[in-house]
Structure 1
Amino acid sequence: MTKIRDREFKNLKQVSQKASEKFESSDLMLEMYEFPDSVWILKNSFFDKIESDSLQFLESPFPYVKYRFKYINPDGEIEYTYGRGSGLSPNTDFDSVINSKLKSARINYTGKYIQALETIKDKSEFHEEFYIKKRSLGSLYLMLADVMLLKNKLNRRIIVLELVYN
């Protein structure tokens, strides 16, 4: 942990393949992160539309990636949110961009992990700060390296989970 705090990454042990596979196949991963269910390339903004959850987008004469996330509410209703990527060169390999974006995770703000962090946020100043930063920034990779040396077991688990599987 001191090596991470001091940003010495050269000799850190990697997570084992078995541990990585176990996490990636676990329910925890999908509670922490979400992946788009659809990704496509638009030739330019003329072919785009503004969804009910979206902010107005800037017009673009260049191709760009668009993606959709699917949510199932507690009452079983399906909702979608959308995102857009930056402009792409017409020479870009669009298939590789699509495949890459399908594998790109973002924080799952409706998952049980963030809900659990919310339930413990009042336990201490650390938990409250962690929850606020997690909600606002998503990834806490190096931001919390200085607090990793805490002796509190729950705090260490939260930090290790963020650092190892992010």
Structure 2
Amino acid sequence: MRRVLVDNGSSADILYYPTLQQMGIGREQLVPTNAPLVGFGGTRVFPLGVVNLAIIVGDYPQQITKNVTFLMVDCSSAYNTIIGRLTLNSWKAITSTYHLMIKFPTDYRVGKLRGDQVAARECYVAMMEKNDHLQAISIEHRTITEPVERLEDILLDNSRVKH
């Protein structure tokens, strides 16, 4: 599968509904869920359900097969799926954004997934264009409060004391 966003900061694995349709998996295989996804800006998206899929990661023989529970979201995206932190941890994966690479242990040495710089740039640009009309910053007036007690300074390094 192409156009996979690897997101070390995401606590969820997300599969977009058009991708599920392309895989020939029907909506009847979704298990209902009522837990909303909350985005960085506080927007909420309610998944259609969850689906558990076995995925193969890597090239033979340096590959692993893992079951991943995806939240099914019916909205448009430049990506087919998002792989989050919990799945990356279950793979014992090490990610490098600089190298666009993931490495993970297998029974036959180390498996590797390489990203495609051109595809990554195309997805990024597509998402930015898609979200241009949604890019609004909300600034709230907040009252700054005073501390409830005075903090005590504690010296940790005697070599910096002026005599």
**Fold similarity call, TM over 0.5:** no
Q: Counting strand residues as a fraction of each chain, which structure ranks higher?
A: 2
Which of the two has higher C-alpha Rg?
2
Give the shorter-chain TM-score range.
Answer: under 0.3
Q: TM-score, normalized by length of structure 1?
A: 0.23
